[in-house]
Chains A and B, each alone.
Chain A
Amino acid sequence: MMAVAGVLVGMLIGALPGVGPPSGVALLLPLTFGMEPTSGIIMLAAMYAGTMYGGTITSVLINTPGESASVVTCLDGYQMALQGRAGPALGIAAIGSFIAGTIGVVLLMLVSPLLARWALSFGPPETFALMLVGLTTVTMLAGEDPLKGYISMVLGLMLAMVGFDIISGDARYGFGVPELMDGVDFLPVAIGLFGLGEVLAGAEDKTAQMKIRLRLREVLPSLADWGQSKWAIARGTVLGFLVGVLPGAGPTVASFLSYTVEKKVSKTPERFGKGAIEGVAAPESANNAAATAAMVPMLTLGIPGSATTAIMLGGLMMWGLRPGPLLFEKNPQFVWGLIASQYIANVMLLIASTALIPLFVRALRIPYSILMPLIILFCVTGAYSLKNNLFDVGQMLVFGVIGYFMKKLGYSPAALVLALVLGPLAERALRQSLIISDAGLGIFFTRPISAVLMVLALAAIAVPLAKWGRTLLSRT
């Protein structure tokens, strides 16, 4: 019962852009305080799953990511919706999430202690190298022109510099605005670039309005869709789980990496960005596997692995449970209850979403002239509800205009958002590493995990540039 209610409430809340899992769970956390701990935690786990899927719904239907981990889903998910295939996109996302969640829970039970050790081996140098690998995926998001991808990325990195310097504490590009002290928040930017930018661009384009209404027959994925997606789901799950165990940007990096991997292994990479179902299946599986994996550090070390688990840990403390490695030993029924409820939440999510997809898809039947103002309304409330601050709404509007121009000129907003999310993490890890090594760059290459990741990242930067250079040369 609690699980059903939690999933539904979570989905509703999560479907508001701007209310991603962390703020969704935070919003709903007080609801559970009156309950007894076990029902409370089941409800919480269900809401977590629900809000995650809620973000996917808006990504697919109105091109507005609810959280950083569903940014990639916009790329092909929204294209599928434009082709009248919103149903299959949402369906495969739910199935992929379910499979990833199921495998994730099994792995969580079997190999948590091992994984905790893997998480601990990631110090600042390893984190920096991983972020670098994550950033190189821009070449895959950017379409034909890697240069435009890099330009978007650099723009994102520049935005990521805003706010106080993490080591010296100097204010950077803040112009004395207190809201900018913490840096540019990624959600208003993403909502603006994707959601509002899309509305602005769509307002000019009469054909887009027609296309949506063409085919709505397909409500669920077909067998052919499943055939195309099954390996994408498998790869997304494994990758997502491994990356998700690492504290920090787990789900986001996992979703971007798995998208890149799919595009690499695909025989028809040109379909990506134009509505490839693997491009939805892989990142959605990856972010769900990563969300499950984020429980590993919380349960084994007592340290939250993501913003959402941090809030859930706060919930645990409200019930008088102490975080820490002893949680497993002292309150086993509780920990297993949590794992079980995660699983129940996954099942509920699959049922609820299949039942509700026709309803969500029907939302697209609303005439364009009504749907678009509604989306703008969603974008505004989403940006405001983030921190109850009008400043974020202004930020969202500005980025809506920027998103419109980026779309017109062929620059990738996903690359910008990725850089904005990973930039601060990469910078922090880089500078921590350099403090520890006393400014020696060797630290990135003498530690095995870091060295492998660095080589991967450098290759990912060098190879497309070399190819691009060669085509330029051969043209002249």
Chain B
Amino acid sequence: MSTLTRLFAATVVFSFFSSLHMGSSAQTYPAKPVTFIVPFPPGGGTDISARTVAAKLTQKWGQSVIAENRAGAAGILGADAAAKARPDGYTLLIVNVGVTSINPTLYPKLPYDPDKAFAPISLLCELPFVLMASPSFKPNSVKELVALAKANPDKVTFASSGQGGSPHLTAEIFQLATGTRLTHVPYKGGGPAMTDLMAGHVDLLFASVLEGSGHIKAGKLKGLAVTHAKRSPALPDVPTLAEAGVKDAESGSWIALLAPAATPSAIIDKVTADVKEAVSAPDVREKLIAQGAVPQASTPKELQALIDKDRSRYGRIIREKGLKPE
């Protein structure tokens, strides 16, 4: 063996071991920048929450945590990119309830296997919804709304941010729980739906507390109920659905962090612990609450249970109503 070959062989062996070492050791993780794939456009609720947590982890790890937006197809394109990324802990995926618990039923042919592609890490926050009515809409409470809708089936209209999205499914759950029939008017995104609600072109809208609370406080919209188990600190005067007499209709979205399935469990454990610390840090909490979210970390097990629970719940609605994606 010539010196050159020997040197080459040594380099190969060395680099192999060193890469092995870098890839699998939880002690040294993260040894380089970590990417959060955000499967939605920048500036939306999911993106902002992801960036808030990413900034905190950057501080803690001394390594950049980059939020990379891979938007399109209701989050499927970004999720697919994460599913096919190298499972070394350096590419993680931000999801909302739609990606993990709605898409698998709504889209029969996903480019990845939703049951096997990902390993859960932790919840980041919950995003409760609020049921709002146009100022020109007569009923001022859920009770009055239900009475009106029962007397006039299919006459009351509700807007949504899009067919098959979690606000739309929340409205479907609401109809099942109250025994009413409303007419769905889908929009592209929450903004246009909100504008038309304000102008009275449609009667009702479920949207996140983040999007709705400003308008309710200003008196431009009527807040009828929040879909969370507890009242929202941003809207202390708006009752919960349960308080308004509607049982088992709690809904809303949440944001969580996943890893590609084969990511080493030592790394997942480390990230889980660090996310928990980041989410409970006062400055992060404050920012998330200001965005209308409820900061909430979890264990991987708890997250998986939440994913499964919402998936069977929304899946039933989708199948019963024969819903198809937008």
Of B73, B186, B189, the contact of A182 (CB 8 Å cutoff): B73
Among B83-91, B197-205, B257-265, B273-281, the stretch that binds chain A is B197-205
Give the 8 A-B CB pairs with smallest separation, nearest first. Answer: A324-B214, A314-B43, A169-B324, A123-B201, A120-B199, A325-B218, A311-B43, A26-B42
Least Cβ–Cβ distance between A335 and chain B, in angstroms: 14
Interface residues in B53-78 (C-beta closer than 8 Å to A): 55, 67-74, 76-77
Least Cβ–Cβ distance between A325 and chain B, in angstroms: 4
Contact B195 A169 (CB under 8 A): no
Contact A320 B287 (CB under 8 A): yes
Among A148-156, A213-221, A296-304, the stretch that binds chain B is A296-304
1/0 per residue, CB under 8 A from A, across B301-315: the answer is 000000000000000
> Measured between alpha carbons, how far is A179 from B189 in the docked complex, in Å?
19
Of A297, A302, A389, A432, the contact of B72 (CB 8 Å cutoff): A389
> Measured between alpha carbons, how far is A131 from B76 in the docked complex, in Å?
30
Interface residues in B67-122 (C-beta closer than 8 Å to A): 67-74, 76-77, 80, 109, 111
> Measured between alpha carbons, how far is A137 from B189 in the docked complex, in Å?
27
**Given known A-B contacts A179-B73, A181-B73, A324-B217, A303 and B290 have beta carbons under 8 A apart:** no
Does A388 count as interface, using CB distance less than 8 angstroms? yes
Interface residues in A97-156 (C-beta closer than 8 Å to B): 119-124
Does B41 count as interface, using CB distance less than 8 angstroms? yes
Task: Report the interface size for chain A: residues with CB under 8 A from the other chain.
Answer: 53
Of B48, B67, B70, B192, the contact of A248 (CB 8 Å cutoff): B192
**Given known A-B contacts A301-B198, A325-B220, A318 and B48 have beta carbons under 8 A apart:** yes
Does A168 count as interface, using CB distance less than 8 angstroms? yes
Does A310 count as interface, using CB distance less than 8 angstroms? yes
Contact B73 A178 (CB under 8 A): yes
Least Cβ–Cβ distance between A222 and chain B, in angstroms: 42
What are 17 A-B interface contacts by the 8 Å CB criterion? A30-B67, A124-B185, A164-B325, A247-B191, A247-B192, A303-B194, A310-B43, A314-B43, A317-B210, A324-B214, A325-B214, A326-B214, A326-B218, A388-B70, A389-B70, A428-B187, A432-B187
Contact B48 A317 (CB under 8 A): yes
Does B215 count as interface, using CB distance less than 8 angstroms? yes
Least Cβ–Cβ distance between A212 and chain B, in angstroms: 38
A-B residue pair count with CB separations less than 8 angstroms: 141
- A residues near B42, Cβ cutoff 8 Å: 26, 29, 311, 314
> Measured between alpha carbons, how far is A302 from B157 in the docked complex, in Å?
23
Interface residues in B263-295 (C-beta closer than 8 Å to A): 287, 290-291
1/0 per residue, CB under 8 A from B, across A284-327: the answer is 00000000000001000111100000111111011010111111
1/0 per residue, CB under 8 A from B, across A162-194: the answer is 001111111100001011011000000000000
Least Cβ–Cβ distance between B146 and chain A, in angstroms: 21
Does A271 count as interface, using CB distance less than 8 angstroms? no
Does B44 count as interface, using CB distance less than 8 angstroms? yes
Does B9 count as interface, using CB distance less than 8 angstroms? no
Does A387 count as interface, using CB distance less than 8 angstroms? yes
> Measured between alpha carbons, how far is A313 from B293 in the docked complex, in Å?
17
Apart from the given pairs A120-B199, A169-B324, A301-B215, 5 other A-B contacts in the complex at a CB distance below 8 Å:
A121-B199, A124-B201, A169-B164, A435-B185, A436-B201
Does B175 count as interface, using CB distance less than 8 angstroms? no
Contact A314 B47 (CB under 8 A): yes
- B residues near A165, Cβ cutoff 8 Å: 324, 326
> Measured between alpha carbons, how far is A353 from B74 in the docked complex, in Å?
39
Least Cβ–Cβ distance between A413 and chain B, in angstroms: 24
